[in-house]
Amino acid sequence: MDVTEAHELLALASEAALAAGDLLLARFEAGPEHDISAKSTPTDLVSEADLASQRAIRELIAGRRPDDGFLGEEDGTDVAGSSGLKWVVDPLDGTINFLFGIPQWCVSVAVKDAQGTIAGVIHDPMAGETFSAVRGEQATLNGIAMAPSSRPGSLAQALVSTGFAYDARVRAAQGEVFARLITEVRDVRRFGSAALDLAWTAAGRYDAFFERTLKQWDIAAGVLLCECAGLVVHELPARGELPWGLLVAAPSLAPALLALDL
């Protein structure tokens, strides 16, 4: 794929993410959502805001690129398409934060081919921040090149971000990992949006991020941002009660984090 087409895809991803962000921001400011249901567990919620955001994104992309595939978090949408490209969308990452009035949530829009993510955007409407990347180019924040953190000289100086599963059995296993980690690093943050955690790691606000129970819509845009910012991405194989996951960190920090058996 040539550079021009990749940037055209990025422009559409940005347009979709910002349009969905405007929709969500208006709903957030209007007050609590009332049409809410559970998904995988009673604590894993979806609202009409999630569904409305996904509809808006899908309609915009389908109108411009009807032959592309589409994978969205909500309502089981997974369309194969015929172009060789697939859009991977989290229309509202951080739903629990959104529903509780916590201003830490985002929209994630990415487009992939057989080699991986071509272009990705994570848009934070509350902060007015848009994180963007095209494969093989520098990641940006509001159009300005990003660089990952250069702070940590050792694991003890690292600020690490993570997240926890909705399943109680998985959380118990993650608690054991957390107990090993917390005494080895500067501190740990858990804010509730994996996509934003990845974007903030790419921007240097965190020194590393790891999480289990991730889905493709959580990470499709964020992993590209981190790779384009010069970070390394390691898969965390499933074991015991711990599902598959990812670690993203500076090359100098990754070995020490992996040694903690995350």
**What does the alpha-carbon distance between residue 80 and residue 33 come to, in Å, rounded to a whole number?**
32
**What does the alpha-carbon distance between residue 118 and residue 85 come to, in Å, rounded to a whole number?**
9
Contact 91, 50 (CB under 8 A): yes
- Percent of the chain beyond pLDDT 90? 84
Contact 107, 53 (CB under 8 A): yes
Same structural domain, 131 and 205: no
118 in any annotated domain: yes
Supply the range of the domain harboring residue 168: 155-258
The CATH number of whichever domain residue 24 belongs to comes to 3.30.540.10
Same structural domain, 66 and 170: no
Lookup result for tokens 């559409």: 12
Contact 77, 58 (CB under 8 A): yes
Task: Classify each residue of 36-56 as buried b or exposed e, where b means 16 or more C-beta atoms within 10 Å of its C-beta.
Answer: eeeeeeeeebbbebbbbbbbb
CB-hemisphere CA count at 13 Å for 150?
A: 2
pLDDT tens-digit map of 25-40: 999 998 776 555 544 5
| Token duo for residue 16 | 């979709």
Same structural domain, 100 and 165: no
Q: Which among 92, 127, 145 is the end of a domain? A: 145
Same structural domain, 126 and 49: yes
Same structural domain, 132 and 36: yes
Same structural domain, 13 and 97: yes
The CATH number of whichever domain residue 201 belongs to comes to 3.40.190.80
Same structural domain, 131 and 182: no
pTM: 0.93
Same structural domain, 192 and 161: yes
Q: In a 3-state reduction of DSSP, which class is residue 105?
A: coil
pLDDT tens-digit map of 174-225: 999 999 999 999 999 999 999 999 999 999 999 999 999 999 999 999 999 9
Q: How many domains does the chain have?
A: 2
Same structural domain, 97 and 28: yes
Q: Which among 145, 169, 189 is the end of a domain? A: 145
Same structural domain, 138 and 236: no
Contact 202, 219 (CB under 8 A): no
Pick from 144-148, 151-155, 192-196, 206-210: least confident? 151-155
pLDDT of residue 47: 77
